[in-house]
């Protein structure tokens, strides 16, 4: 989810990843892999893990959880309305004054919102578990999702081709994002977004290491939700989404919706909840706005033959491309083929496969380009980014099979 508070991954992590939702309880997958809601993106936004967390939204600049897990809420236990609570009253006054809105209108809607204890639990840090790329990948790159992706591509071929022509973002990548985030619209979330954002604005858990920053972020998202509601003539309590407030097929946070969503079918309104064309165009626009470069690969294979000191140097910048190909190789990250001619900076991206001391496998590595980094802006997780890329490419390959329907 782009612009989400948690960078987690969907297995949706949406990382990630982006990525407690992206294995018993779908919400716990995020914490276990290390969500889809932590980074604030779409945006698409979405977890409380670091850049390498498999747990997100997506579009991507917050910590996020996996979309499929973070969006499975049904009836949520409620802790009571915020009406009359001093903190809610003060927040309403601040928002109204900042936007020159009727304070009674703001007070009414924030007062109508309900505290959701489940949301507080989902964003409360959980004990860290070993990340496992192989397990995470298997949950997302699988026959059901690939088949759904084929049907989505076949149905939306014209919009996907137009988005690629308009923004330079390949159709397979857009298909990968929407597939990981919401399984092509099957899991867009059942939380009332007004309740989720009010809860995170007024009762964000103080045990979180970045509580003040995260609470401020969600207050901004609540304010933007109210603005979207006014602009579109909707009641603020009509929006549904993830426990962190990510909405629609691409799981955009309100701020990503406001900045990056587009009316791609030209019907005069932006609808990311039911309009696939608008969702497709908005995802492509989001990635383009975050620096996508047409024609550049997202990553290359790499063989790591580095010493401990060299490996530490290579991993220090995390997933931000920081080394040219020559320096990359000199530090023991061996490239081959066209990767040797790559003109831009590279990052050594590490994806853990469990704890080797507990029977886990050795980590996987790829050489990430600037475009790989762009995908992580949707959900701040390398696990999420690679899952999106590989799902999109798997759907593209399936469509190319001789017996695939066109």
Q: Which residues are marked as active site?
A: 181
Instruction: Give the C-alpha distances (Å, rounded to integers) separating 171 from 138, 229, 389.
Output: 22, 31, 11
Q: Are 265 and 278 in contact (CB under 8 A)?
A: yes
Q: Which tokens sit at 337?
A: 């083929």
CA separation for the pair 276, 207 (Å, rounded): 39
User: Which position has the token pair 């969702």?
Assistant: 279
Q: Which residues contact 403 (CB under 8 A, 6 or more apart)?
A: none
Q: Can you name the residues that pair with 347 across neighbouring β-strands?
A: 368
Instruction: Give the C-alpha distances (Å, rounded to integers) separating 226 from 218, 232, 236, 257, 349.
Output: 12, 10, 6, 12, 39
Q: What is the strand order of the sheet 347-353 is part of?
A: 299-301, 361-368, 347-353
Q: How far apart are the first and last CA of the chain?
A: 30
Q: Which of 334, 329, 342 lies closest to 296 in space, CA to CA?
A: 342
Q: Which residues contact 138 (CB under 8 A, 6 or more apart)?
A: none
- Supply the Cα-derived Rg of the chain in whole angstroms: 20
* Residue-level length of the chain: 406
Q: Which residues contact 19 (CB under 8 A, 6 or more apart)?
A: 6, 7, 8, 9, 10, 13, 30, 33, 34, 35, 36, 37, 38, 46, 47, 49, 53, 54, 55, 56, 63, 64, 65, 66, 379, 381, 383, 384
């Amino acid at each position: 989810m782009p612009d989400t508070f948690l960078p987690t991954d969907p297995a949706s992590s949406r990382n990630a990843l982006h990525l407690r939702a992206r294995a018993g309880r779908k919400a716990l997958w995020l914490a276990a892999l290390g969500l889809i809601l932590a980074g604030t993106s779409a945006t698409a936004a979405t977890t409380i893990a670091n850049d390498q967390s498999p747990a997100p939204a997506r579009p991507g600049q917050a910590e996020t959880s996996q979309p499929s897990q973070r969006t499975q809420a049904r009836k949520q236990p409620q802790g009571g309305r915020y009406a009359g609570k001093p903190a809610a009253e003060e927040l309403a006054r601040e928002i109204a004054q900042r936007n020159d809105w009727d304070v009674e209108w703001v007070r009414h809607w924030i007062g109508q919102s309900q505290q959701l204890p489940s949301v507080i639990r989902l964003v409360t840090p959980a004990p860290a578990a070993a990340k496992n790329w192989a397990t995470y990948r298997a949950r997302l790159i699988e026959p059901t999702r690939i088949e759904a992706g084929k049907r989505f591509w076949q149905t939306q071929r014209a919009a996907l081709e137009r988005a690629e022509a308009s923004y330079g973002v390949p159709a397979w990548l857009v298909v990968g994002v929407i597939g990981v985030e919401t399984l092509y619209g099957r899991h867009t979330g059942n939380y009332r977004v007004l309740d989720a954002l009010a809860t995170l604005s007024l009762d964000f858990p103080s045990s979180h290491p970045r509580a003040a920053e995260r609470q401020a972020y969600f207050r901004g998202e609540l304010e933007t939700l109210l603005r979207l509601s006014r602009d579109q003539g909707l009641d603020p309590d009509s929006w549904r989404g993830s426990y962190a407030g990510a909405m629609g097929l691409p799981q955009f946070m309100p701020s990503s919706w406001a900045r990056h969503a587009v009316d791609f079918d030209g019907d005069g309104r932006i609808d990311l909840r039911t309009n696939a064309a608008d969702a497709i165009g908005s995802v492509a626009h989001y990635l383009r706005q975050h620096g996508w470069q047409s024609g550049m690969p997202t990553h290359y294979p790499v063989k790591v033959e580095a010493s401990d000191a060299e490996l530490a140097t290579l991993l220090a910048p995390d997933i931000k491309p920081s080394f040219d190909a020559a320096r990359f190789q000199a530090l023991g990250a061996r490239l081959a083929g066209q990767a040797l001619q790559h003109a831009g900076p590279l990052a050594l991206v590490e994806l853990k496969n469990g704890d080797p001391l507990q029977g886990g496998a050795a980590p996987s590595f790829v050489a990430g380009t600037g475009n790989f980094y762009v995908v992580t802006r949707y959900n701040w997780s390398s696990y999420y980014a690679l899952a999106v890329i590989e799902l999109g490419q798997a759907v593209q390959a399936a469509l190319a099979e001789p017996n695939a329907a066109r």
